[in-house]
Amino acid sequence: MRIIFPFIPVFLLISISCKKKIETTHPQRENITESVYASGIVKSKDQYQVFATINGIIQKIYVQEGDTVKKGAPLFSILNETSKLVRENAQLAAQLADYNANAGRLNELSQLMELAHNKMINDSLLWVRQSNLWEQNIGSKTELEKAELNFENSKTNYTSARIRYSDEKRRLNIQSKQAQKNLQISQSNETDYMIKSTMDGRVYSLLKEQGELVTPQLPLAVIGDAQHFILELQIDEYDITRVVQGQQVFITMDSYKDEVFEGRIVRIYPIMNERSKTFTAEAEFVKAPPSIFPNLSLEANILIRLKENVLTLPRNFIVADHFVIREDGDTVEVKLGIKDFEKAEILEGINENDVVKRPGK
């Protein structure tokens, strides 16, 4: 059997194939929010990098990643033989210069001073006796002058002995204190070789291993609060003037797909990063996810304002933020209010009954 197909003109086929469906819509009343976009990361509260203050080799690591630590708990010890030798030398010097250890020298000078004093008293009595005899015309003037000279010499010797004792006592006292200070300095410097935690928190990362060389420029670990987290947001310079503390933030993370978490702006840093042209702000969760870790990436929308029951239209139906095209092809100027990524508020120009078509359709 032969099947005969009806004849269809070629121009009609072309006309049917080229005709496209016109995409239309009409304004709707709904709530609309204006928000500022920000990207960022999760950080532990008070999170910081641990640095050494001196050069050396890691002698021992006292913690592991994930450990919780108390403030003052040891994290690393740095090996440096020079520091150890300096401290031991300071200890020896302190022992040598110790005031009590040099009491024998002071006792000796005290005894010499006492002898000089006794001799001065004795010579004084002899001089007085010789003077009395001279007044009675007994003895010679030479003997009187000799007694006076002996007394003067004894008095000078006693004065010198007192000065030597006082100077030696002061010198030993200063020397002892200096040695103790040097010992304290060396002990203080030696504490630089024991690196401790500055907070109660958790060890999130260890960046060095035992035996590695460290310098003050290289971080050793990352430590932060074990329970509380902040959201570090990067906000474009064009939007920063609309962001204030206390604003509501809606957060999404790849770790929790299809979930939105609420937060609040708690801090805005007042200086711009010149490279990225962004400002940094911090937010806190109103209710944190059940499990969270530092350095998770996030995206956030900071709520600027909310308007309820307003006339809206999808933004892809609006031409140059000023015009819409009616279904009959007429172009109408509109006035817009607030906008989000998908829709815009219509203030003037069209109403709910108007049907508009998508540009280019």
User: What is the residue type of 80?
Assistant: N
- In this structure, is residue 115 part of a structural domain? yes
Handedness of CA 209, 199, 273, 205 (dihedral sign): positive
The candidate with the shortest Cα–Cα distance to 339, out of 294, 309, 305, is 305
Range of the domain at 106: 85-191
- In this structure, is residue 15 part of a structural domain? no
Handedness of CA 35, 37, 38, 42 (dihedral sign): positive
Question: What gap in Å lies between CA 178 and CA 187, rounded to an integer?
Answer: 14
**pLDDT tops 80 at residue 240:** yes
The count of structural domains within the chain is: 4
- In this structure, is residue 168 part of a structural domain? yes
Same domain, 216 and 144: no
Q: Rounded mean pLDDT of 315-326? A: 89
Q: Rounded mean pLDDT of 2-17? A: 41
Same domain, 288 and 316: no
The CATH code of the domain that includes 242 is 2.40.30.170
Return the higher-pLDDT residue of 222 and 78: 222
- In this structure, is residue 7 part of a structural domain? no
The tens digit of pLDDT for each residue in 272-305 reads 999 999 999 999 999 888 888 899 999 999 999 8
Please, which pLDDT band fits residue 3 given cuts at 50, 70 and 90? very low
The tens digit of pLDDT for each residue in 334-349 reads 999 888 778 888 999 9
Question: What gap in Å lies between CA 318 and CA 45, rounded to an integer?
Answer: 44
- In this structure, is residue 13 part of a structural domain? no
Which residues, 6 or more positions from 36, have their beta carbon under 8 angstroms from its beta carbon?
235, 236, 239, 242, 243, 301, 302, 304
**pLDDT tops 50 at residue 9:** no
Q: In this structure, are residues 41 and 280 in contact, taking their beta carbons and an 8 Å threshold?
A: no
Same domain, 217 and 311: no
Question: What gap in Å lies between CA 325 and CA 319, rounded to an integer?
Answer: 8
To the nearest 10 degrees (0 to 180), the angle between helices 81-97 and 141-191 is 150
- In this structure, is residue 59 part of a structural domain? yes
The tens digit of pLDDT for each residue in 59-115 reads 899 999 999 999 999 999 887 666 666 666 666 666 666 656 666 677 788 888 888
Same domain, 292 and 236: yes
Same domain, 127 and 264: no
Same domain, 75 and 211: yes
Residue 203: burial class (beta carbons within 10 Å; 0-12, 13-18, 19+)? buried
Q: In this structure, are residues 295 and 276 in contact, taking their beta carbons and an 8 Å threshold?
A: no
**pLDDT tops 60 at residue 31:** yes
